[in-house]
Amino acid sequence: MKKVSFVMPVRNGEKFVEATVDSLLNQTYENIEVVIVNDHSDDNTMGVIQNIAEHTTKVKVYDLKEKTGVGAGRNLGTKHTSGEIIMPVDSDDPSFPERAELSVLELEKSRSDIFYANVERFFIDSGKRELRHFQPYDEKMFRSINYIAHGASAFNRKVWDAIGSYDENIKIGEDYDFFLSAQEKGFKFCSKNVAVAQYTMHTGQVTSSIDPDKIRQRQEWNKLVRAKHKIYKVDQDYIRNNGTPSIVDFYINKNWDIWFSPESVPRK
């Protein structure tokens, strides 16, 4: 049985982190470890995760010292993993019980390097739950939009080793950059449209906010990622003609400026 390593960076996550870690420790797949990296939290996050670690050998806790950021946290955590399969986790997004078991099964069945599933959005304010948009892997489409839910993904450790780490200079979209790098190195992707984790929607998130300033931040980071991978054109017609209904609705019908605005696309 292959070992699964959940890697979770956290900054000021005392409100959510305990429930998220509990969801990982209660997986139906037994051979797991949980590697948590505290990123300069100034609340009680460290106290919460240290208390959890004192009661189980499956949890390991590390502290970012000189660096900061999600990419740096993911890299430090991955360096300290002992599993063959890495599963990224965000501290406010609990995983469903069969996430590890399903992911390992799909990776082995398809002989792929990277697997992704779907997430269930949970809106804290309203209590509403809904399935996120989903797209089976399409290489061309992925170079226009990032439709992979990072918190529902799993990949063989060799992918991270080959890429050399998440790019710590990218503060938003480090996951998109990572998977684009994996695509360019020829790694095989597979997917399944089933929710394996919760995506918690709450105030303060940059990646789900419609605040103009946060949209501009995302445009700038999308542009940087695309420039790094020499993506100078996004093909809306291809998405419209080949995307699933949920993808077309989310990316085309809602006209997201973060993906198709000129501010998001670098010049050649």
pLDDT digits (tens, 9 = 90+) for 127-153: 999 999 999 999 999 999 999 999 999
Q: Are 154 and 114 in contact (CB under 8 A)?
A: yes
Secondary element (H or E) of residue 72: helix 70-79
Q: Is residue 48 part of a domain?
A: yes
Tell me if residue 235 falls in helix, strand or coil: coil
pLDDT at res. 202: 76
CA distance 261 to 242: 21
Q: Is residue 229 part of a domain?
A: no
Band (pLDDT 50/70/90 cuts) for residue 215 is confident
206, pLDDT greater than 60: no
Q: Is residue 225 part of a domain?
A: no
pLDDT at res. 28: 98
* Mean pLDDT score, 145-170: 97
Vertex 69 angle, CA 38 and 71, to 5°: 100
Q: Is residue 263 part of a domain?
A: no
Q: Is residue 167 part of a domain?
A: yes
Q: Is residue 262 part of a domain?
A: no
Tell me if residue 18 falls in helix, strand or coil: helix
- Where is pLDDT greater, at 194 or 254? 194
The domain in which residue 35 lies consists of: 4-207
pLDDT at res. 66: 82
Residue 210 phi/psi, 5-degree rounding, is: -105, 10
205, pLDDT greater than 60: no
Q: Is residue 268 part of a domain?
A: no
- At 77, which CATH number? 3.90.550.10
- Predicted confidence (pLDDT) per residue in 14-33, tens digit: 999 999 999 999 999 999 99
Band (pLDDT 50/70/90 cuts) for residue 122 is very high
Q: Is residue 230 part of a domain?
A: no
Name the nearest CA neighbour of 60 among 113, 136, 3, 120. 3
204, pLDDT greater than 70: no
Q: How many domains does the chain have?
A: 1
CA distance 208 to 120: 14
- Predicted confidence (pLDDT) per residue in 82-119, tens digit: 999 999 999 999 999 999 999 999 999 999 999 999 99
- Predicted confidence (pLDDT) per residue in 51-90, tens digit: 999 999 999 999 998 888 999 999 999 999 999 999 999 9
Q: Are 38 and 46 in contact (CB under 8 A)?
A: yes
Token pair of 232, please?
Answer: 């100078």
The DSSP output letter for 123 is E
